[in-house]
A and B are shown apart, each in its own frame.
Chain A
């Protein structure tokens, strides 16, 4: 069973850059799409974007100007960078595998990482 684990700072100052990494185990990162999703406290889930193992990306237009995703197939990891953060970026951030074939859904998720934006 594929396992995903988010890692990164839990506290980020306003205007700085949020950086998270998702480590994939018990499965290869190759051949799949990998997504980041976030959930602000008490709010609905918000899709941030995906990265294909080859490096191609698709970002949510609402965040596109501030988001960068990257992948390191040698480490079986992919990463999220979100610049110029504000309190509105405080959320639990999840990484997940996105199945994109005849069906399209998020099948494996990490446990989530709470990131708080505060000075």
Chain B
């Protein structure tokens, strides 16, 4: 199985801050990397697919980059509704696997 490792595990930030979350795959996954946002008690919601494609309806302050084994999710200006847990997920091979999550909290 491909192991997905995110960093940091959690972070505290203020509204308006630029936030970066990193995801590393245990082997190359080309650009088959997706990012999801999960708010407490809710289902995950896809933000970014194929490393850098913005899902329809997702604000443009979210962006993704990377290829191979190293990927980044960036929130350009953190908004109150962005406080949540973010997961990366690889679709290079089965079984699909997820990172452990990064919790973004209010500073």
Secondary structure at chain B's binding surface: helix, strand, loop or mixed?
A: loop
Mask for A89-119, Cβ within 8 A of B = 1, else 0?
A: 0000010100100011111011110000000
* B42 contacts partner chain A, Cβ-Cβ < 8 Å: yes
Residues of B within 8 A of A62 (CB): 95
A109 touching B99 by the CB < 8 A rule?
no
> What's the Cα separation between A29 and B101 when bound, in Å?
30
Q: Tell me whether A105 and B98 are in contact in the complex, defined as CB-CB below 8 angstroms, given that A44-B87, A110-B43 are known contacts.
A: no
A45 within 8 A of B: yes
Contact A107:B50 (CB < 8 A) given known A47-B97, A58-B94, A61-B95:
no
Residue numbers in A under 8 Å from B100 (CB-CB)? 44
A5 to chain B, nearest CB (A): 11
B60 interface hit (Cβ, 8 Å): no
Say if the beta carbon of A60 comes within 8 Å of chain B. yes
Count A-B contacts at CB 8 Å.
55
* A 57-110 contacts with B by CB, 8 A: 58, 60-62, 94, 96, 99, 103-107, 109-110
- When distances are taken between beta carbons in the complex, the residues of chain B under 8 Å from A96 are 43
CA distance A47 to B44 in the complex (A): 13
| Docked complex: B57-107 residues within 8 A CB-CB of A | 87, 89, 91, 94-101
Q: Is B55 an interface residue, CB under 8 A from the partner?
A: yes
Q: How far is the CA of A112 from the CA of B98 in the complex (A)?
A: 17
B19 at the interface (CB under 8 A from A): no
| Cα A110 to Cα B53 with chains together (Å) | 23
Query: Which residues of B in the span 24-74 have a Cβ within 8 Å of any Cβ on A?
Result: 32, 34, 36, 42-46, 49-50, 53, 55
Q: B44 — which chain A residues lie within 8 A by C-beta?
A: 45, 94, 106, 109
A16 at the interface (CB under 8 A from B): no
Question: Lowest 9 A-B CB distances belong to which pairs?
Answer: A104-B91, A109-B43, A105-B49, A47-B96, A60-B95, A45-B98, A105-B34, A103-B50, A44-B100
List chain A positions with a Cβ less than 8 A from chain B. 35, 44-47, 49, 58, 60-62, 94, 96, 99, 103-107, 109-112
Q: Which residues of B pack against A, CB within 8 Å? A: 32, 34, 36, 42-46, 49-50, 53, 55, 87, 89, 91, 94-101
